[in-house]
Amino acid sequence: MFNAILIERDERSYRAAFTALEETRLPDGDVKVRVDYSTLNYKDALAITGKGPVIRRFPMVPGIDFAGTVDESSHPAYVIGDRVLLNGWGVGEHHWGGLAQLARVKSEWLIPLPAALTARQSMAIGTAGYTAMLCIIALERHGVTPESGEILVTGAAGGVGSIAVSVLARLGFRAVAVTGRPAEAEFLKRLGATEILDRAQFASAGKPLGKERWAGAIDVVGSHTLVNVCASMRYRGVVAACGLAGGMDFPATVAPFILRGVTLVGVDSVMCPRADRLDAWRRLSEDLDIDKLELLTEEIGLSQVIDHAAGLLEGRIRGRVVVDTRR
């Protein structure tokens, strides 16, 4: 038996429960992992509350990432005792995920845990931090350097945004944080933000072009926020878009792209190729200040996940939520 969050649905109800399951219920896969830590991400909270169409089959154990130790393996790449982590690949959506004490998955979905990180630290980073690093790498690949100018980060008090601010600051960039929570201003400055802006100024329909300011941007919001970010980019600025917290729509014009040569880069963490994953985690182990990681991390037990899910969607939780599966 093992403990897990299990989501079930029928014609009358949608239910998420902390429960004990028999190991025989684990899905197919060639590696079984004893999960040490998982996380509570925005997508997980949508799945647990039923407020977003995240889950593709039921019943489902949510959790889009986890870190742990190989318990069984029929694949030569992994042996019992190997430390591994997983992000994405549809885990927690159509294959049982990491909010459990055990997981059975395909070996190609796993990567070795970086030697410089503990399992807990890797989940304090989690999919959010891994996505933030993919965004920063995307900016760099398009020629954005610390000398290029300021980098705007929307949703800065959340998981992706807070780690993006921290890494950008350590790399020497001037990171400007956008948040709807003024009480988090001091927290964001401790992470390295040079300025704090109210998200309200980006949330409404704006002009096709605004005043040029940003050399680069990382956006987790979408909708009007992303439109306004693009409109205020400097000539040949680069925007890395990775989220839709504000909506999937993009009510924009082509003006920033054809008049200022702005580049809009889509960043996907779920199906990202293995080589890019390994590079992102290598960079995180080198470029993220672990001491600052503790500033933005809250730890809860697996039994507390359901209660925390609604708070995450309502914006009452900052930074990252690490889940200790042992409690």
State the pLDDT at residue 215: 98
Provide the CATH number for the domain around residue 147: 3.40.50.720
Q: Is 262 in the same domain as 130?
A: yes
Residue at 30 is within a domain: yes
Longest dimension (CA), the chain: 61
Q: Write b or e for each residue in 225-248: b if 16 or more Cβ atoms lie within 10 A of its Cβ, otherwise e.
A: bbbbbbbbbbeebbbbbbbbbbee
Instruction: Taking residues 199-209, report their average pLDDT.
Output: 91
**Domain finish residue from 249, 266, 283:** 266
| 69: exposed, middle or buried (Cβ count in 10 Å: 0-12, 13-18, 19+) | middle
State the pLDDT at residue 10: 87
Cα–Cα distance list, 196 to 74, 80, 132, 216 (Å)? 50, 47, 18, 16
101 pLDDT band, cuts 50/70/90, is very high
pTM comes to 0.92
State the pLDDT at residue 317: 78
Q: Are 140 and 168 a contacting pair, CB within 8 Å? A: no
Q: Is 190 in the same domain as 141?
A: yes
Residue at 143 is within a domain: yes
Residue at 155 is within a domain: yes
pLDDT greater at residue 320 or residue 254: 254
Using alpha carbons only, how large is the chain's radius of gyration in Å? Answer: 20
Q: Is 223 in the same domain as 254?
A: yes
Rounded CA separation 260/16 (Å): 48
Q: Is 137 in the same domain as 259?
A: yes
Tokens, residue 143: 């020629």
Q: Is 139 in the same domain as 87?
A: no
* Residue located via tokens 């169409």: 53
Instruction: Taking residues 35-51, report their average pLDDT.
Output: 94
Number of domains the chain is built from = 2
Residue 212 has pLDDT above 80, yes or no: yes
Q: Is 100 in the same domain as 182?
A: no
State the pLDDT at residue 319: 79
Instruction: Taking residues 19-27, report their average pLDDT.
Output: 96
Provide the CATH number for the domain around residue 33: 3.90.180.10
Residue at 212 is within a domain: yes
Rounded CA separation 224/154 (Å): 12
pLDDT tens track for 157-176: 988 999 999 999 999 999 99
pLDDT tens track for 260-307: 999 999 999 999 999 999 999 999 999 999 888 888 899 999 999 999
Q: Is 43 in the same domain as 78?
A: yes
182 φ, ψ (degrees, to nearest 5)? -60, -25
Residue 84 has pLDDT above 90, yes or no: yes
Rounded CA separation 177/168 (Å): 11
Domain that holds residue 134: 126-266
Q: Is 82 in the same domain as 214?
A: no
Instruction: Taking residues 221-241, report their average pLDDT.
Output: 97
Residue at 95 is within a domain: yes
109 φ, ψ (degrees, to nearest 5)? -85, -15
Residue at 200 is within a domain: yes
Residue at 54 is within a domain: yes
Q: Is 262 in the same domain as 133?
A: yes
Instruction: Taking residues 200-216, report their average pLDDT.
Output: 93
Rounded CA separation 4/6 (Å): 6
Which DSSP letter does residue 107 get? G
Nearest to 230 by CA among 244, 212, 203, 249: 212
Q: Is 99 in the same domain as 167?
A: no
Residue 238 has pLDDT above 90, yes or no: yes
Residue at 280 is within a domain: no
Q: Is 55 in the same domain as 174?
A: no
Residue 52 has pLDDT above 90, yes or no: no
State the pLDDT at residue 127: 93
Q: Is 50 in the same domain as 138?
A: no
Q: Are 296 and 162 a contacting pair, CB within 8 Å? A: yes
Q: What percent of the chain has pLDDT over 70?
A: 100
Cβ within 8 Å of residue 204, ≥6 positions away: 224
Residue 318 has pLDDT above 80, yes or no: no
Rounded CA separation 243/250 (Å): 12
